[in-house]
């Protein structure tokens, strides 16, 4: 493999410094050294990719193309150095430049090209694919601004632009040989030509898509995954006529409009806004990617007849669903296929994953918007829909309700989920529970129509990033006990379970957690000037801020603890620090209100004059939670809060990151928590609350939050406290939300689950205080049971059961 020696590394880096920055090693700034190192590491990966590419070509290997509007990559240097196995020579080489590798890691901005779970999953998958030598490419957009930078001013979230490219660009390789024209607007005309009836598309606005590649090396493998990011720019033909007529403004406007497409990532997670620019982004991604895939395929194999045998194209959530009509357009208009053949090729190539059941997240577009912006795509959608409805009519004669629910076009809306299902040969959810729910509720009609399409692939995480790289201390213990094999085969973590009676191992687990807590406390001090006492228990909820994830339920319990301590500051309770990290979608008012409540509650406690209270209860809201912060936080956590209303969290992946780092979960039977409980055993996880079917039942019978309020004095006291407020601010609005909001009070049933939650919290505190050894034993069992939740296993499931992909080393 293309590794290097210390001397070679030194020369490579010094060479970059002279050629790209005109400085000698002794003059170079840390930033310049960082960039020179990135360029050197990138070169190694480009070479490695080329070798793998050759192998793919020779083997005529099938490839997967993963289309996703988000790839939440975080930092790349540490991961690349680890995966390439070049840490030692590089560290030594850097001595002569007067910096350490750790210093350089800190120079790198996060590539925050995603919102949350969906985007981080896509990033984890690229790692799993490369490590197992699967031929894979991700496609997304090269957003100039990634997910906003969060500032919290007086408890209120402010969004600032995320300027990542100055430091992140060094990873990108511009591919001037990969450029495609994407067309919007314009008009259609049908014409008779040599190919029969042809649809001609004219007067379109054209935008050019230019590729920027980012390499993701596998760990100790031959493969490198490529993430191809499209940047939009005006087509390089200047409208001279407009310009010479003196229409400068119009010319410049067109230029600006083109670039707008890849300007910024939409910050909304689980809520579809239906904005025209977002539609343009989606089509831009889909059209550029498919043109690229198709042209590569044709260069290699001549025609598109073999596309399904050689390419698996994945639609990650419905955001790239226009891949269905776009592939049809390319087959029909540019390659003159008959409709039926084109349709068979399309559906055999595409597969779709659903990542959420929330109604407000299910995407629909106004049909007239699509008709205007994408007239040809609209025409194809109408024909897909016509044929679908014909077939449904044959299968379910007279069942108009069903047919109207299943149609793609209805009442001036285009339903992207229906389109994705109809246009794919496979539809999957991301945990067992979620996959059952989609079959039985949101996609029930489709499940009855084509049951063979539906399947499950439970999510997984890049465990080398989340365990090996983030927690070397824990890995040292694992290596002592079970060797290093788990890095490439996470199922071997199970061998760690044998040590659950070994007192010295259990003790070391506690010591390691303590070290990671101290490190995080230092990090929080440095980042935010906040003091965290590592002697307290770290109870952490880190994920996007959303009503269904119920950060509010957590807050209600903290308020009750605070009340108890205000009543009796001498109360003998387990000292805890509650840590939150979460961004809210910019326009999501309720989420921002909950954030404000937590921040004001935190401040109220911090300002409490009684040190006996402050010593036992601390609340910390970490600002700007992102991948890099997460890597510091997961290993330091002792309690993992996974408390969504059952049936709402498709899977969760943070839950897996906490688990593999030995945190104990307090959670509902939701998403992947269900499978975590099955694997670790119910004695080692703290499950509470209504189950998904019980939630449905309570809902059917009419949920009334007041009945819980009336029966529970503790709850009444908490609501009172909300109204009185914290740090001088009343939160009566939240009290109202829980009890009186129309049309429903407490839509995510915090009050229904409160008693069970608080009881379970107490149970955990008792265990922590009374039997720390048993706590560590449970922690050990969680680590040992986490292997299944590796992205390596997830992508293997996709590869064998959905994509029909083979490893290139087997």
Annotated catalytic residues are 355, 543-544, 549, 653, 657
Residue whose CB is nearest to ligand 26W in the complex, by number = 117
CB-based contacts of 548, cutoff 8 Å, min separation 6? 358, 644, 645, 648, 649, 748
Q: Residue 641 Cβ, how far from ligand 26W at the closest point, in Å?
A: 14
Q: Residue 273 Cβ, how far from ligand 26W at the closest point, in Å?
A: 7
Q: Residue 226 Cβ, how far from ligand 26W at the closest point, in Å?
A: 22
- Secondary structure (3-state) at 74: strand
How far, rounded to the nearest angstrom, does the alpha carbon of residue 224 sit from its chain's CA centroid?
21
Q: Residue 654 Cβ, how far from ligand 26W at the closest point, in Å?
A: 8
- Site membership for ligand 26W, residue 271 (CB under 6 A): yes
Among 48, 178, 314, 355, which residue sits at the site for ligand 26W (rule: CB under 6 A)? 355
Task: Using the minimum distance from each CB to ligand 26W, give the nearer residue, 231 or 355.
Answer: 355
Task: Using the minimum distance from each CB to ligand 26W, give the nearer residue, 133 or 356.
Answer: 356
Q: Residue 420 Cβ, how far from ligand 26W at the closest point, in Å?
A: 12
Among 14, 36, 94, 118, which residue sits at the site for ligand 26W (rule: CB under 6 A)? 118
CA 18/CA 35 separation, integer angstroms: 12
Size of interface with ligand 26W, in residues (CB under 6 A): 23
Using the rule CB under 6 A, give the single segment among 264-272, 476-484, 516-524, 588-596 that binds ligand 26W.
264-272
Q: Residue 355 Cβ, how far from ligand 26W at the closest point, in Å?
A: 4
Beta carbons of 792 and 490 less than 8 angstroms apart: yes
Using alpha carbons, select from 177, 139, 170, 136 the residue that is nearest to residue 53: 136
Task: Using the minimum distance from each CB to ligand 26W, give the nearer residue, 221 or 642.
Answer: 642
DSSP state string for 163-202: B-HHHHGGG-EEEEEEEEEEEES-EEEEEEETTEEEEEEE
- Site membership for ligand 26W, residue 272 (CB under 6 A): yes
Using the rule CB under 6 A, give the single segment among 262-270, 504-512, 628-636, 684-692 that binds ligand 26W.
262-270
Using the rule CB under 6 A, give the single segment among 265-273, 289-297, 407-415, 487-495 that binds ligand 26W.
265-273
Beta carbons of 805 and 311 less than 8 angstroms apart: no
Q: Which helix (H) or strand (E) holds 149?
A: strand 149-153
Task: Using the minimum distance from each CB to ligand 26W, give the nearer residue, 420 or 653.
Answer: 653
Among 652, 662, 667, 689, which residue sits at the site for ligand 26W (rule: CB under 6 A)? 652
Using the rule CB under 6 A, give the single segment among 112-120, 440-448, 483-491, 566-574 that binds ligand 26W.
112-120
Task: Using the minimum distance from each CB to ligand 26W, give the nearer residue, 272 or 790.
Answer: 272
Among 331, 409, 532, 650, which residue sits at the site for ligand 26W (rule: CB under 6 A)? 650
Dihedral angle of Cα 289, 293, 299, 302, to the nearest 10 degrees: -130
Among 110, 363, 547, 753, which residue sits at the site for ligand 26W (rule: CB under 6 A)? 363
- Secondary structure (3-state) at 234: strand
Binding mask 655-674 for ligand 26W (x = CB under 6 A): ----------------x---
CA 283/CA 801 separation, integer angstroms: 28
- Across 499-598, the runs of DSSP E, i.e. the strands, are 537-542, 576-581
Residue 694, number of CB atoms within 10 A of its CB: 14
CA 324/CA 2 separation, integer angstroms: 40
Task: Using the minimum distance from each CB to ligand 26W, give the nearer residue, 108 or 127.
Answer: 127
CB-based contacts of 535, cutoff 8 Å, min separation 6? 575
Cis peptide bond upstream of 434, omega within 30: no
- Give, in order, the Cα–Cα distances in Å from 393 to each of 399, 404, 692, 713: 8, 10, 34, 57
Using the rule CB under 6 A, give the single segment among 468-476, 477-485, 643-651, 721-729 that binds ligand 26W.
643-651
Task: Using the minimum distance from each CB to ligand 26W, give the nearer residue, 356 or 628.
Answer: 356
Using the rule CB under 6 A, give the single segment among 41-49, 99-107, 110-118, 248-256 that binds ligand 26W.
110-118
Task: Using the minimum distance from each CB to ligand 26W, give the nearer residue, 269 or 675.
Answer: 269
Task: Using the minimum distance from each CB to ligand 26W, give the nearer residue, 213 or 649.
Answer: 649
Identify residues 49-108 at the interface with ligand 26W (CB under 6 A).
none
CA 479/CA 618 separation, integer angstroms: 35
Among 328, 361, 674, 719, which residue sits at the site for ligand 26W (rule: CB under 6 A)? 361
Among 121, 422, 598, 613, which residue sits at the site for ligand 26W (rule: CB under 6 A)? 121
Identify residues 276-335 at the interface with ligand 26W (CB under 6 A).
317
Beta carbons of 519 and 102 less than 8 angstroms apart: no
CB-based contacts of 326, cutoff 8 Å, min separation 6? 283, 286, 287, 290, 377
Task: Using the minimum distance from each CB to ligand 26W, give the nearer residue, 726 or 789.
Answer: 789
- Give, in order, the Cα–Cα distances in Å from 56 to each of 83, 125, 204, 808: 20, 19, 37, 7
Among 270, 630, 661, 790, which residue sits at the site for ligand 26W (rule: CB under 6 A)? 270
Residue 17 DSSP class: I
Among 157, 268, 705, 761, which residue sits at the site for ligand 26W (rule: CB under 6 A)? 268
Using alpha carbons, select from 650, 686, 653, 646 the residue that is nearest to residue 669: 646
Identify residues 512-541 at the interface with ligand 26W (CB under 6 A).
none
- Site membership for ligand 26W, residue 741 (CB under 6 A): no
First to last CA, the chain: 18
Task: Using the minimum distance from each CB to ligand 26W, give the nearer residue, 76 or 282.
Answer: 282
Q: Residue 444 Cβ, how far from ligand 26W at the closest point, in Å?
A: 20
Q: Which helix (H) or strand (E) holds 364?
A: strand 364-366
- Give, in order, the Cα–Cα distances in Å from 58 to each of 21, 55, 99, 284, 423: 39, 5, 42, 31, 31
- Site membership for ligand 26W, residue 430 (CB under 6 A): yes
Beta carbons of 515 and 555 less than 8 angstroms apart: no
Binding mask 452-481 for ligand 26W (x = CB under 6 A): -------x----------------------
Identify residues 180-209 at the interface with ligand 26W (CB under 6 A).
none
Which residues are at the interface with ligand 26W (CB under 6 A)? 115-118, 121, 268-272, 317, 355-356, 361, 363, 430, 459, 649-653, 671
């Amino acid at each position: 493999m293309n590794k290097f020696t210390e001397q070679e590394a030194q020369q490579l880096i010094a060479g970059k410094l002279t050629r790209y920055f005109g400085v000698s090693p002794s003059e170079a700034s840390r930033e310049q050294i960082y960039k020179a190192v990135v360029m050197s590491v990138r070169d190694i990966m480009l070479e490695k990719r080329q070798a793998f590419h050759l192998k793919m070509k020779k083997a005529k290997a099938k490839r997967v193309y993963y289309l996703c509007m988000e790839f939440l990559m975080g930092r790349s240097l540490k991961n690349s150095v680890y995966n390439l196995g070049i840490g030692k020579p590089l560290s030594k080489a850097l001595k002569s430049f007067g910096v350490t590798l750790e210093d350089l890691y800190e120079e790198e901005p996060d590539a925050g090209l995603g919102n949350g779970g969906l985007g981080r999953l896509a990033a984890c998958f690229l790692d799993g694919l490369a490590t197992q030598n699967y031929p894979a490419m991700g496609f997304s957009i090269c957003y100039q601004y990634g997910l906003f930078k969060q500032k919290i001013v007086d408890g209120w979230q402010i969004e600032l632009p995320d300027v990542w490219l100055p430091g992140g660009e060094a990873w990108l390789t511009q591919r001037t040989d990969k450029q495609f024209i994407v067309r919007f607007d314009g008009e259609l005309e049908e014409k008779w030509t040599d190919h029969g009836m042809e649809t001609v598309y004219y007067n379109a606005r054209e935008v050019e898509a230019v590729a920027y590649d980012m390499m993701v090396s596998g760990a100790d493998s031959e493969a490198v995954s490529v993430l191809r990011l499209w940047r939009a720019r005006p087509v390089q033909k200047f409208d001279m006529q407009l310009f010479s007529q003196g229409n400068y403004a119009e010319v410049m406007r067109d230029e600006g409009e083109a670039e707008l497409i890849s300007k910024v990532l939409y910050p909304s997670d689980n809520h579809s806004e239906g904005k025209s620019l977002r539609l343009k982004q989606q089509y831009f991604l889909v059209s550029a990617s498919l043109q690229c895939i198709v042209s590569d395929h044709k260069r290699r194999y001549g025609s598109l007849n073999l596309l399904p045998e050689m390419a698996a194209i994945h639609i990650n959530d419905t955001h790239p669903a226009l891949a269905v009509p776009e592939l049809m357009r390319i087959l029909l208009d540019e390659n003159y296929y008959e409709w039926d053949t084109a349709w068979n090729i399309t559906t055999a190539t595409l597969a779709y994953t659903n990542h959420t059941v929330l109604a407000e997240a299910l995407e629909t577009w106004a049909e007239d918007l699509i008709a205007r912006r994408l007239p040809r795509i609209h025409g194809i959608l109408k024909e897909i829909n016509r044929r679908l409805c014909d077939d449904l009519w044959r299968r379910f004669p007279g069942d108009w309700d069903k047919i109207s629910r299943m149609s793609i076009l209805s009442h001036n809306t285009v339903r992207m989920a229906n389109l994705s299902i109809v246009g794919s040969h496979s539809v999957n959810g991301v945990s067992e529970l979620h996959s059952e729910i989609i079959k039985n509720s949101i996609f029930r009609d489709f499940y009855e129509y084509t049951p063979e399409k539906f399947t499950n692939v439970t999510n997984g995480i890049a465990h080398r990033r989340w365990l090996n790289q983030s927690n070397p201390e824990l890995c040292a213990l694992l290596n002592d006990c079970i060797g290093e094999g788990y890095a490439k085969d996470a199922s071997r973590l199970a061998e760690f379970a044998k040590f659950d009676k070994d007192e010295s191992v259990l003790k070391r687990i506690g010591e390691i957690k303590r070290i990671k807590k101290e490190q995080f406390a230092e990090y929080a001090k440095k980042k935010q000037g906040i003091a965290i006492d590592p002697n307290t228990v770290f109870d952490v909820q880190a994920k996007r801020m959303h009503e269904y994830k119920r950060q509010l339920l957590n807050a209600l319990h903290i308020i009750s603890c605070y009340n108890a301590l205000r009543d009796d500051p001498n109360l003998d309770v387990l000292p805890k620090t509650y840590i939150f990290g979460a961004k809210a979608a910019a326009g999501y008012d309720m989420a921002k209100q909950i954030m404000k409540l937590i921040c004001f509650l935190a401040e109220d406690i911090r300002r409490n004059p009684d040190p006996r209270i402050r010593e036992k209860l601390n609340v910390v809201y970490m600002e700007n939670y992102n991948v890099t912060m997460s890597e510091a936080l997961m290993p330091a956590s002792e309690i993992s809060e996974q408390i969504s209303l059952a049936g709402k969290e498709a899977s969760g992946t943070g839950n897996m990151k906490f688990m593999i780092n030995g945190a104990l979960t307090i959670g509902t039977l939701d998403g992947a928590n269900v499978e975590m409980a099955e694997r670790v055993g119910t004695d080692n996880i703290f499950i509470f609350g209504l189950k998904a079917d019980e939630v449905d039942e309570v809902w059917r019978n009419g949920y009334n939050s007041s009945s819980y309020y009336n029966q529970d004095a503790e709850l009444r006291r908490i609501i009172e406290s909300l109204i009185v407020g914290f740090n001088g601010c009343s939160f009566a609005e939240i009290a109202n939300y829980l009890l009186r909001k129309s049309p429903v009070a407490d839509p995510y049933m915090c009050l229904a689950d409160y008693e069970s939650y608080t009881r379970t919290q107490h149970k955990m505190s008792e265990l922590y205080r009374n039997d720390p050894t048993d706590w560590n034993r449970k922690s050990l069992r969680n680590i040992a049971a986490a292997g299944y939740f590796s992205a390596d296993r997830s992508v293997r499931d996709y590869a064998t059961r959905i994509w029909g992909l083979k490893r290139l080393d087997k």
